Amino acid sequence: MNFDFVIVGAGFAGCVLAERIANLLNKRVLIIERRNHIGGNCFDFYDENGILVHKYGPHIFHTNNKNVWDYLSQFTNWHFYFHKVLAVVEGRKVPLPFNLNSIDLLFPEHLAIKFAEKLVNKYGYGLKIPILKLKEENDDDLKFLSEYVYSNVFLGYTTKQWELNPNELDYSVTSRVPILIGRDDRYFQDTFQGIPRQGYTHLFQNLLNNKNISVLLNTDYKSIINDLKYEKLIFTGEIDYYFDFEFGQLPYRSLEFEFRSIKQPNFQETAQINYPNNYDFTRITEFKHFLPYNSEFTTIALEYPAKYERTKNEPYYPIPKKENDELYQKYWQLAQKLKGKVYFVGRLAEYKYYNMDQVVASALMLFNQIASE
Ligand SMILES: Cc1cc2nc3c(=O)[nH]c(=O)nc-3n(C[C@H](O)[C@H](O)[C@H](O)COP(=O)(O)OP(=O)(O)OC[C@H]3O[C@@H](n4cnc5c(N)ncnc54)[C@H](O)[C@@H]3O)c2cc1C
């Protein structure tokens, strides 16, 4: 069978491009997916108790990009949901990002008032300050506070998550953990936030609901690509794999999830509780908080960071370090030579710590480029 486009990977990058190409360009698309399902890392499924579980970790959609929100809203209704995260610090559960409410919960009143006043006077109410920036403070009280947050909230979690010291990681990662000088307990402050009302997998099914799109699951594209006739290839897998690891492997961090079904209405007070200082897992997610349910059971997932071993587990997070970026740039140079024939897009192909909205934006941008060629 002939195709105009072959797309490797049925995650957001692959499925958004398939939808645009099939609908707007009226071209025939084949998606090849290694896993036994569509949706990539956003795949969700109903477990034995009827609770929608995110197989590859909790996914909360949030964006300030109205174009992306409007685009996806054609394929799903949203359950309006604000994500709230607590961290266990010295045995107490405090809001994350660490904010003025967290300070109130952990320090005696006179200290909490002093810290809050100094933070507001120095930076202004409502601002977010990366913890590593606050650590550079000269003021004794703010220095004490920054050291406290660094060692009790940031260091343990980051070390468990990456098996690296925070200053070995790029600023893009460390700046993701700020102190919020305010009392907004939501984890994200984006304009648009939500969970697809019927789940992510349903959203993906809607994206792919077009007679121009065929999907082949359980197949590594390399096992079949030479037998196919097609014009162009869009690749959303690992870029180093595409080039047969010519310059060596790009490093990733992996995860393991331990799912537990419990016969009680709820396990914890929010969807996500982080454990920066205790246990081997980093966080516990309770999926029941994402959507409304009427069930006497609940499902939780304990999340353990893990070494990535090719063919044994999943490449979840690109590791944002200077030398890894330099290695990626070498592959990117090779990719440039295939311009117009092969396109690389998505978290694995671009080796970027993308959120869902950024991947969708990147795919929509690539579509505009393809459509104008
Ligand atoms: C634990 C975790 C939690 C996250 N939480 C959030 C969140 O709350 N909010 C948010 O916005 N983002 C979140 N993200 C990020 C989000 O998962 C990604 O932005 C998104 O999934 C990236 O989409 P993608 O299409 O680029 O990649 P993927 O979803 O990884 O899709 C790529 C697909 O390509 C397939 N593939 C790869 N190689 C081959 C091959 N050789 N042959 C065939 N198929 C192949 C893979 O199997 C995969 O299905 C989270 C990520 C993780 C890991």
DSSP letters spanning 17-62: HHHHHHHHS---EEEE-SSSSSSGGG-EEE-TTS-EEETTS---EE
pLDDT of residue 177: 76
367 lines ligand 1 (CB under 6 A): no
Which CATH superfamily does the domain covering 2-38+208-247+319-372 fall into? NAD(P)-binding Rossmann-like Domain (3.40.50.720)
pLDDT of residue 193: 98
Instruction: Report, as ranges of residue numbers, the positions in the chain whose pLDDT lies below 50.
Output: none
Encode pLDDT of 295-333 as tens digits. 999 999 999 999 999 989 999 999 988 999 999 999 999
Q: Which residue CA neighbors atom 14 of ligand 1 most closely?
A: 355
Encode pLDDT of 67-88 as tens digits. 999 999 999 999 999 999 999 9
98 lines ligand 1 (CB under 6 A): no
256 lines ligand 1 (CB under 6 A): no
Q: Which residue CA neighbors atom 4 of ligand 1 most closely?
A: 59
pLDDT of residue 15: 99
Compute the distance between CA of residue 317 and CA of residue 161 in angstroms, rounded to an integer.
10
Which among 19, 41, 78, 281 is the best mutation to test ligand 1's pocket, defined by most ligand atoms within 8 Å of the CB? 41
Compute the distance between CA of residue 130 and CA of residue 297 in angstroms, rounded to an integer.
39
235 lines ligand 1 (CB under 6 A): no
**At CB < 8 A and 24+ separation, what contacts does 238-245 make?**
238/315, 238/348, 238/349, 239/328, 239/331, 239/332, 239/335, 239/344, 239/348, 239/349, 239/350, 239/351, 240/331, 242/331, 242/344, 242/349, 243/331, 243/334
| Separation of CA 40 and ligand 1 centre (Å) | 5
83 lines ligand 1 (CB under 6 A): no
| Separation of CA 285 and ligand 1 centre (Å) | 18
6 lines ligand 1 (CB under 6 A): no
Q: Where in the chain is the domain with CATH 3.40.50.720?
A: 2-38+208-247+319-372
pLDDT of residue 131: 87
The β-bridge relationship of strands 272-274 and 44-46 is unpaired
DSSP letters spanning 100-138 = HHHHHHHS-HHHHHHHHHHHHHHH-TT-EEEHHHHTT--
pLDDT of residue 261: 97
Q: Is the peptide bond before 97 cis (omega within 30 degrees of 0)?
A: yes
